[in-house]
Amino acid sequence: MENLLVVDSVSKTFANHKALNNVSISIPKGSIFGLLGPNGAGKTTLIRIINQIIIPDSGNVFLDNQLLEPKHISDIGYLPEERGLYPKMKVGEQALYLAQLKGMTKLDAKKQLKYWFEKFDIGEWWNKKVVELSKGMAQKVQFIVTVLHRPKLLIFDEPFSGFDPINANLIKDEILNLRNEGATVIFSTHRMESVEELCDHIALINKSNKILDGKLDEIKREYQTNTFEVGLITNRKSETEKEIKNNFHTSKPTFKGLGDNLRLNILLKESQTSDELLSFLVKKAKIQHFKEVIPSANDIFIKSVKEN
């Protein structure tokens, strides 16, 4: 798969603090790439380097096979975690001004803003000052300004901050639409459920170093533990539990069931298969719940950071 953005061996130091240490990532075209890490890991420094707000001490960044230069600013849309709208300026006037900074003509900007304001049902906000808007309302305006010029690369840093669940879903759907229309997205967040829903690829940065990188489904496969959640209905609860424990390694359940009276987490040995487990259970009880435990992005995040 062809990459839109390549970060090659980038390092950055502030005073005595190493913010990034020889970090390399490749972001495929048309993907949603999760840039993850604890607070202070170096994510924001990397995002600022990509946006040319700061420059790296060493290493290079390439956009669409070209060394990143000031001319590429118009190819990038950036929604920072710290919002940057002018509070006393009118919404429409400000949106037009910011669109023209990205190279749009006033006529094209007005046309696109009309489309987005109607789509988000915020036409009546045009002459309001930003200071009159709630945090979520201002966030909608800044999202529109970020995507308005249809850049190749979109960078969203905590894009759902300040949104209620309904508007968070609205923004989520728009991010997916933009990806489907050809945009490439860098998505930085601490909300792991959003990573599960949106990201094709992830990279995890911790203490200035990249510690994990790849397709999310492949990383999940690497972290599989061959563990199954089992919920059973049986009149012989104690006997059935003992028989299962004699044949398989079990642990306390970590899930909630409906209607079952025996719950177990069962870890299979390398020589055992899920078919063997299922065949064994069918003979012992009615199976109410049977599910392989797939590691979540949150599980992977915590495990990787702790190990690192």
Nearest to 280 by CA among 248, 252, 304: 248
Examine the domain organization and report whether 273 and 130 are in the same domain.
Answer: no
Tens digit of each residue's pLDDT (9 = 90 or more) over 106-148: 999 999 999 999 998 888 889 999 889 888 888 889 999 999 9
The CATH number assigned to the domain holding 127 equals 3.40.50.300
The rounded distance, in Å, linking the Cα atoms of 272 and 43 is 41
Mean pLDDT of 201-212: 94
Domain boundary among 221, 254, 276: 221
pLDDT > 80? residue 10: yes
Domain boundary among 205, 221, 237: 221
Domain boundary among 174, 199, 221: 221
Tens digit of each residue's pLDDT (9 = 90 or more) over 88-108: 899 999 999 999 988 899 999
Is 268 a domain residue? yes
Examine the domain organization and report whether 169 and 238 are in the same domain.
Answer: no
In the structure encoding, which two tokens stand for residue 118, read together? Answer: 């109607």
| Amino acid present at 268 | L
Res 239: pLDDT: 92
Mean pLDDT for the chain?
A: 91
Could you give the count of Cα atoms lying within 13 Å of 184 in the half-sphere of its Cβ? 19
Examine the domain organization and report whether 204 and 274 are in the same domain.
Answer: no
Examine the domain organization and report whether 137 and 269 are in the same domain.
Answer: no
Examine the domain organization and report whether 271 and 148 are in the same domain.
Answer: no
Give the CA distances from residue 8 to residues 53, 56, 130, 291, in Å, rounded to whole numbers and listed in that order.
18, 11, 39, 41
Tens digit of each residue's pLDDT (9 = 90 or more) over 151-194: 999 999 988 887 888 888 999 999 999 999 999 999 998 888 89
Which stretches does DSSP call E strand in 37-92?
58-63, 66-67, 76-79
Examine the domain organization and report whether 80 and 95 are in the same domain.
Answer: yes
Examine the domain organization and report whether 215 and 143 are in the same domain.
Answer: yes
pLDDT > 70? residue 83: no
Examine the domain organization and report whether 176 and 234 are in the same domain.
Answer: no
Examine the domain organization and report whether 284 and 198 are in the same domain.
Answer: no
Helix (H) or strand (E) holding 135: helix 135-147
Examine the domain organization and report whether 103 and 249 are in the same domain.
Answer: no
Examine the domain organization and report whether 193 and 244 are in the same domain.
Answer: no
The rounded distance, in Å, linking the Cα atoms of 191 and 198 is 11
Is 306 a domain residue? no
Res 102: pLDDT: 86
Give the CA distances from residue 200 to residues 3, 169, 188, 222, in Å, rounded to whole numbers and listed in that order.
13, 18, 13, 16
Is 304 a domain residue? no
The rounded distance, in Å, linking the Cα atoms of 271 and 19 is 45
The rounded distance, in Å, linking the Cα atoms of 33 and 195 is 9
Is 305 a domain residue? no
Please provide the DSSP assignment of 195-213 as one string: HHHH-SEEEEEETTEEEEE
Total Cβ atoms within 10 A of residue 90 = 16
In the structure encoding, which two tokens stand for residue 228, read together? Answer: 């199954």
Is 297 a domain residue? no
Res 306: pLDDT: 87
Structural domain range at position 246: 226-292
Is 166 a domain residue? yes
- The structure's pTM equals 0.86
Q: Which residue has the higher pLDDT, 255 or 12?
A: 12
Please provide the DSSP assignment of 77-132 as one string: EEE-SS----TTSBHHHHHHHHHHHTT--HHHHHHHHHHHHHHTT-GGGTTSBGGG
Is 303 a domain residue? no
The CATH number assigned to the domain holding 278 equals 3.30.70
Is 83 a domain residue? yes
Tens digit of each residue's pLDDT (9 = 90 or more) over 267-289: 998 889 999 999 999 999 999 89
Strand order in the sheet with 201-206: 76-79, 153-157, 184-188, 32-36, 201-206, 209-215
In the structure encoding, which two tokens stand for residue 60, read together? Answer: 């290079």
Tens digit of each residue's pLDDT (9 = 90 or more) over 218-236: 999 999 889 999 999 999 9
Number of domains in the chain: 2
Q: What residues have CB less than 8 Å from 112, skipping those under 6 apart?
A: 99, 104, 148, 149
Examine the domain organization and report whether 200 and 239 are in the same domain.
Answer: no
